[in-house]
Amino acid sequence: MEVYDVAVIGGGIVGCAIARELMRYSLRVILLEKEIEVGFGVSKANSGIIHGGHHSSPDTLKGKLEWEGNQLWDALRDDLDFGFKRIGEITIALSEEQIPTLQQIKAQGEQKGVPGLELWETEQILKAEPHLSPNIVAGLYAPTTGVVNPYEACFALIDNARLNGLEISTKNPVLGLDYREDVWQINAQKGVIYSRFVINAAGLFADQIAEMAGVGNFKIYPRKGEEYLLDKRLNGYIQRVIFPCPTPVSKGILVIPTYDGTLMVGPTAEQVEDKEDLTTTAAGGQRVFEAVMQYAPGISPRDCIAEFAGLRPVADGEDFIIEPSSRPGFIQVAGIQSPGLTAAPAIALLVLEILQDSGLALIPKDDFIAKNPPVIRFASLSRTEHMTLTQEHPSYGRIVCRCEGITEGEILAAIARGAATLDGIKFRTRAGMGRCQGGFCTGRCLELLSRELGCPIPALTKRGGESWIVRAREEVLNR
């Protein structure tokens, strides 16, 4: 019987961060993910904001880890080569009655040691962001806020973990758990796995995994957020993340300049029952644009080029649950809603402390590889670099996605790194994210996937499961 030291259940941003930190040590680790690729659950539809560190109360676990995590993203970006930059934010007040909320957020940020927080008056806000409404009466500026491509960060973390020896099993949901003779038996769809320690980082399904382990003392409630991506003509229209004053259940409906420059607006915050409900609605879109147009009146629903929804895994009490369970070797990492992306690197370090306290020996590897090989992003290269690269590798001279300027060479490299679906290519390269939303490049991406994976096109999917894109001719004729 082969026994792993640690099994991580869940390949979202938190599970990937934990896996990467574990691979710094002489351990045998496996990560189990029910989707076809990591990052395809909660993390895929994340807003991509690295929160400044001041939004959550220092009296909560998520408030503590928010600021600790914020400070770790620069080093991660430098090592793993994914998109991240600090662009700052302004939390705005639309009435005098909201100013005390800004003052309270500023005070809790200063209590945590967040630097650079400033209360701005209307004139200063409009000087920095001239396209905001003059009806804004005040704002709280935070320079520490950043934006990241969350799916790209997931892939970078897992690529590095695999480079250092992580085993990963996708399309492999956990069906049951049993603890016998100091070892956890994980009954997964693809077979039985044995491990001394189990990390429950299963996102929306963490309560179900906990139930299987006999430690189901919490419930996860999905909270849906609808988001809307805007046309590139608005690139630079707003340069910082704009927050309204928050409510008890939401940080509000925002304007978010994504890492790649495209503006995004949202999310809503709606409690739902179905953990698979990723629908967008006319009512949700109306709510988002009506809210945004109060403080950014130049933004219109006509600018929308894509819409999507994500689900936040909210636990009882709204805080993170990160702790050893009542059963030996089973660690809960649950309820990781906003600011979970921000906190992910700090969560990983906390989990390692818990594992060590629980008896896992952490012996550093002498040969740990901290940096990923660089990823070629053709559109960001100089003309001279374009010419040199295409002479050496002609596939980089063939444009596949004209909206984003993505080449065949980039898509082939993404497939070599593990892209097995259309979304896998999209999230690694941005092919299909532009104005035409894949109308021009989808066919060629499918051809390249089919050729490189040796898989017929009708068997390929958008994001795994039954999300097929093309029907076989025989299927159509037999309908």
Looking at the annotation, which residues are catalytic? 51
Distance CA 243, CA 298 (A): 16
388/382 Cα distance (integer angstroms):
10
Taking alpha carbons only, the member of 292, 242, 267, 200 closest to residue 89 is: 242
Q: Which of 253, 225, 223 is nearest to 241 (CA)?
A: 253
* Residue 363 burial by Cβ neighbours in a 10 Å radius (0-12, 13-18, 19+): exposed
Cα maximum dimension of the chain = 69
CA distances from 76 to 71, 80, 84, 344, 404 (A): 10, 6, 9, 11, 25
CA-nearest of 217, 311, 318 to 272 is 311
Q: Is 266 left (phi over 0), alpha (psi -120 to 50) or beta?
A: left
Helix/strand/coil (H/E/C) assignment for every residue in 338-405: CCHHHHHHHHHHHHHHHHHHCCCCCCECCCCCCCCCCCCCHHHCCHHHHHHHHHHCHHHHCEEECCCC
Q: Under 8 Å CB-to-CB from 73, ≥6 apart: which residues?
A: 50, 84, 146, 148, 342, 345
Buried b (16+ CB within 10 A) or exposed e, 121-144: ebeebbeebebbbeebbbbbbbbb
Entry field: residues in the chain: 479
Quick one: the chain helix, strand, coil %, rounded to 5? 35, 25, 40
Q: How far apart are CA 120 and CA 93, in angstroms?
A: 10
Q: How far apart are CA 237 and CA 365, in angstroms?
A: 47
